Amino acid sequence: MLKWALIFFVISIIAGVFGFTGISAAASGIARILFFIAVVVFVIFLVLALMAGQAIL
């Protein structure tokens, strides 16, 4: 998911350089949403891994 966020971020930068501000804003919004979803999924998996690790001990 971070890969797609990075791809949309690069698209946003390239579109902004060429003056396509609407496309740039849309790609930036998509990249931001994907990044935050990836962070939330990472935190959930981190908590689950810590809980599973304590259950084994």
Q: What is the pTM of this model?
A: 0.80
Q: At 56, is the pLDDT very low, low, confident or very high (cuts 50, 70, 90)?
A: confident
Q: CA triplet 28, 33, 16: central angle to 5 degrees?
A: 0
Q: Which of 27, 39, 29 is nearest to 1 (CA)?
A: 39
Residues 36, 5 contacting (CB under 8 angstroms) = no
Nearest 10 degrees: CA dihedral of 43, 44, 45, 50?
A: 90
Q: What is the pLDDT of residue 54?
A: 85
pLDDT tens for each residue of 18-55: 999 999 999 999 999 999 999 999 999 999 999 998 88
Query: What would the mean pLDDT of 6-13 be, rounded to a whole number?
Result: 95
